[in-house]
A = this chain, B = another copy of it.
């Protein structure tokens, strides 16, 4: 069984939320941060509290390694210990590392992130250097069930620079973008389609029990007008969907990239980790006895409870959007 199958089951059981542990030190409640021996220690304790509070409200977690690397060796130790804690709790985890290098090096990276101190269930990868830079990782799909999400069309401002570039298509582009667009003119074929096509081909070689390939794609939920065509065209790719919340994507946008509420996980980081800053009581942190955070001010338990609330709210919003969409689609 591939990890992608486990992820499908997790979404079916607990909804499509992916909790992004992109934990910057200033996401930790100030009192907790102050009491901790270091920022790295503060982040680890915060992560554990968030994991405990959200594990039954989310399909999986995503850990952005940059937030840990920023703190140097101590930060990477916190990264490793966060992954270890997730393994102990049987939480599925995506290591957001966006690696992409020549085959020899890719194999070393795969060993780094699919085994040992930094072992994760999934990674994110960058496709620029081509499929030979992806394949060494793919060998771990067979041997250990590991999965990956390869950058396809992201949700950031820069995506139009290259991902959107229009490719030359020689003869009438029958197989090009937007198969399934009825009647009209042939839509442009972009770089991200070329990446998606290669990924679909790769995914087809190791398809799991629910029809999705062992490797999927990163697909931002910020470009609503293309979402349905993409979901239709890449039916065998499981999506990691960033861009929700802070980056402008909404439940409706995310729902368009899902299929019957599955086939993807929707990541949110800040809106979950920092939910405590908007929770009742946080604004008077530590000031009064009726402060829900208690006399100690906003602590990790308070932040974790707020995170849980935000994750559940997000899950319900996406479920509702999926339902509305399914209703629209039935004629």
Identify 19 new A-B residue pairs, CB closer than 8 A, beyond the known A98-B100, A167-B167.
Answer: A22-B105, A66-B112, A67-B105, A71-B116, A73-B73, A73-B117, A100-B126, A102-B156, A103-B156, A127-B161, A128-B128, A128-B163, A129-B159, A130-B161, A132-B158, A165-B167, A165-B191, A166-B167, A168-B188
What CA separation (Å) do A102 and B267 show in the bound complex? 14
7 closest pairs, A vs B, by CB? Answer: A130-B158, A132-B158, A72-B117, A130-B161, A69-B112, A102-B156, A66-B108
Task: Name A's B-contacting residues (CB within 8 A).
Answer: 22, 24, 64, 66-67, 69-73, 76-77, 80, 98-103, 105-106, 108-109, 111-113, 116-118, 126-133, 151, 154-163, 165-169, 188, 191, 194-195, 198
Expressed in whole angstroms, the minimum distance between the Cβ of A43 and any Cβ of chain B is: 13
Complex contact B154–A129 (CB within 8 A): yes
What CA separation (Å) do A106 and B22 show in the bound complex? 13
Complex contact A130–B156 (CB within 8 A): yes
Q: Kindly list chain B residues whose C-beta atoms are within 8 Å of the C-beta of A105.
A: 22, 64, 66-67
Q: Kindly list chain B residues whose C-beta atoms are within 8 Å of the C-beta of A112.
A: 66, 69-70, 72
Per a CB cutoff under 8 Å, which of B72, B106, B156, B160 touches A80? B72
Expressed in whole angstroms, the minimum distance between the Cβ of A324 and any Cβ of chain B is: 29
